[in-house]
Structures are given as C-alpha cells and as structure tokens.
Amino acid sequence: MNEKEIASLINQLRNQKNYDEAYVGYFQHEIGSHDCYIKANRQGLELHAAELLEAALKINEITANSKTPILYLDEGIVDKESDITLFDLELKKGTRNEIISEPVYIETWTDRLTKYLIIGIIILLLLLIIVGIITVVSWF
C-alpha cells in the first residue's frame, strides 16, 4: 500500500468508530506469568490498528528527527486496569534480522552475585552500626 492509501484507511477506521465503545486491554494469564493476551472488541482493534498504521506512516519522519524514535500511543482506548501498560512504540528502521541482532543486555550470574553481595554487605554494616550504638548507649 502506498502512503495515500494508508492515510485513507486510517481516516476510515477513525471516523467510523465510537471511542466510547472501543476497548483494548493487555493482560497476563497468571500474575508473574510471561503468557499474555489481548482482550478487545472490534472497535478497539480497528482503532488500535489505525494507531499502528499511523506509526508506519510516520516511521521515516520520526526516526530521522529524533535520537529516540518513540511514538506515543493513544491512551483513550486502552483499559486502565490492564496488567501490562503500553504507552509508547519504539520505531525501528531496518530489517527483522538487523533489529533482532541489536545487543540486548542479559544479566549474568556474576551480576546477580555481585548485587546480592553488595546488599549483604550493606545489611551487615547496618547491623554492626546498630550493635555499636547499642553498646555505646549501654556503657552509660
């Protein structure tokens, strides 16, 4: 589709829908679970699709003019009680393989160990300070 057709489709989707009836929500199957689902009605899906199509139209403009190419989503149709909140969309130019190959930091076991050791040392220091204060107070 060319840009004119996409813009026309966006206008059709937005003009025919009642925002008061539109509903989209993002939920988890269980608390702490990685399994998620979308609960939506037709009006909500069509308006959400219009937002995504608008992002497709603006991707070149936004990525060229911004260090962090982010498009903020319309919060009016998303359920405020959703388990997952999606407020913005990070736009990326390039192919799937280029985007996937971007390095993502994964916490290693040494990172976790260091974090727990530092927390342990802080707790130990706090306990020693409390014992020291109690000892000094008990002298008097």
Average pLDDT, the chain: 83
Between CA 65 and CA 82 the distance in angstroms is 32
Q: Which of 15-19, 27-31, 46-50, 95-99 has the highest mean pLDDT?
A: 46-50
pLDDT tens, position by position, 64-93: 777 777 777 765 777 777 877 777 777 777
The mean per-residue pLDDT over the stretch 8-27 comes to: 84
pTM beyond cutoff 0.85: no
Strand partners, 90: 70
pLDDT digit string (tens) for 21-60?
Answer: 888 888 888 776 778 888 889 888 888 888 888 888 888 7
